[in-house]
Amino acid sequence: MNNIVARADEALKAHDLCDHCLGRLFAHIETGTTNQERGRSMRVAVTLERSARSEGAPEHEMCWLCDDMFDSLPRFAEAAIEKLGAVEYDTFLIGTKVDPAVQDREEQLWAEVGGDKAEPIKAELNREIGKIVEAAVQKEVEFKSPDVVALIDTRFGHVDLDIAPIFFYGRYRKYSREIPQTRWPCRMCQGKGCKRCGDTGKMYQVSVQEILGDVMRREAEGADHFFHGMGREDIDARMLGTGRPFVIEISEPKKRALDLRRIEELANESGRGLADFSGLRKSTREEVRQIKAATPDKVYVAEIRTRGKVNKDKVNEVVQSLRQARIIQQTPTRVAHRRADLARERGIHDLQLLEFSDERLVLQLRTESGTYVKEFVSGDDGRTKPSLSGEIGVACEVTALDVVQIIDNANEG
């Protein structure tokens, strides 16, 4: 007897199996057919072999392994189709949950007759339900990154949707010195709400993230928004020029096709005087990684107060000496509570004196990513060396700081 037919005969002697579960034992032996068709052929072959031995044909009443679950494929598919109808998507994937007892029986069968050529029941369920759904909804099945996964619990016919987030790239400018880039939970209550934050759960009531994110979440009918910026500026610093690149992520969106021009208009109206947004377009999770990993130079304009009069020639001399300087910065005192205390080497790539008076300077700086400009100016009690203050010999303090350019790919030069 053919070895494959012998294994099928052994399986049918031990258990009553449907064509799907019988055929799935040999799923990786041949392609171009379904497990059901394969199982049907195996059953015929076993019947012929038994007939030659004057034995009775295998009987089938109810599948020992799956309890004839495959008879419910249309019902499972219909439940998925109904659930998918509540969201916008271009690609989908079907997933299934199966009673652990069914999976235990499958593993028992493999142990009895061999499972080296077998396919798991969940793989067949996903594929066969997916075929029905695909034909009905006229959408593409996508295995790597579908817009939505319909997860069917075959025990109860219940369907949950796992909706992939959507991502949008843009640039923002921040005009206020009183709002942060991202949501800032209250330090006292960690976002739960308390007297200090007026039960809002936030240290600051408005952020760049929320100005755009709240509009976008509402338009997408999403659950929440997350902001991924190419770095960040201090709360009291403005972000000017062409703006800072970012990607905003909307979780669990019911709508994916958004009018980005309208969203820009709504967000810019909402953020009037605080922040604005431009260049919104579709993005990806990969671009989030690129944004977070980027280390672009930045150009700043810093207004500086000196604690005493300074000589312009001396200032010019110091500015010239610090142009192209390498500096060592110990983690600043103001952020030491949340960052490791390390010494970092950074570069001052350009330095220009824009304005001068006895007790006020305006400098333009181009610095390496990660440079603490305020501490480069003040010296931070010796934690930054060399510093403007240390070289001039007079205490200096940044009174206003603006980021005027992020030197990313769109702003080289």
Question: Residue 184 has what pLDDT?
Answer: 85
Are 245 and 406 a contacting pair, CB within 8 Å? yes
Q: Enter the tokens of residue 363.
A: 């400098």
Q: In this predicted structure, what is the pLDDT of residue 203?
A: 83
3-state secondary structure of 396: strand
Whether the predicted pLDDT of 333 surpasses 70: yes
Tallying the residues shown for the chain, one arrives at 413
Residue 19 annotated as catalytic: no
Whether the bond into 120 is cis, omega within 30 of 0: no
Whether CATH 1.10.630.10 fits 297-411: no
Q: How far is CA 311 from the centre of its chain?
A: 52
Encoding tokens for residue 265?
């208009």
Say if residue 324 is exposed, middle or buried (CB neighbours under 10 Å; 0-12, 13-18, 19+).
exposed
Top-tier CATH class for 166-293 = alpha beta
Q: How high is the mean pLDDT of the chain?
A: 94
205-214, 247-256, 334-343, 378-387: least confident range: 334-343
Return the closest-CA partner of residue 9 out of 45, 41, 60, 52.
45
Domain ranges of the chain: 3-163, 166-293, 297-411
Q: What is the pLDDT averaged over residues 78-104?
A: 97
Residue range 108-166, pLDDT digits in tens: 999 999 999 999 999 999 999 999 999 999 999 999 999 999 999 999 999 999 999 99
Taking 80 as the threshold, does the pLDDT of residue 57 lie above it?
no
- Is the pLDDT assigned to residue 404 strictly greater than 90? yes
End-to-end CA distance of the chain: 78
Catalytic residue among 234, 350, 381, 402: 234
Which of 278, 276, 204, 212 is closest to 250 using CA atoms? 212
Q: Does domain 3-163 have CATH number 2.30.130.40?
A: no
For the question of whether the overall pTM of this predicted structure is more than 0.85, the answer is yes
Q: Do domains 3-163 and 166-293 have the same CATH topology?
A: no
**Averaged pLDDT, 25-46:** 92
Q: Quote the CA–CA distance of 99 and 60 in Å, as a whole number.
A: 22
**CA dihedral (302, 306, 311, 317) positive or negative:** negative
Kindly tell me if the per-residue pLDDT of 412 is higher than 60.
no
Q: What is the mean pLDDT of residues 303-325?
A: 95
Strands in 78-165 per DSSP E: 91-97, 140-141, 148-153, 158-163
Instruction: Tell me how far apart the alpha carbons of residues 292 and 250 are, in angstroms, rounded to a whole number.
Output: 17
Whole-angstrom Cα distance, residue 25 to residue 38? 9
- Mean pLDDT confidence for 87-112: 97
Residues 84 and 78: their CA atoms lie apart, in Å, by: 10
Q: What is the largest CA-CA distance in the chain?
A: 114
Question: How does residue 411 score in pLDDT terms, banded at 50, 70 and 90?
Answer: low
Across 319-324, average pLDDT? 96
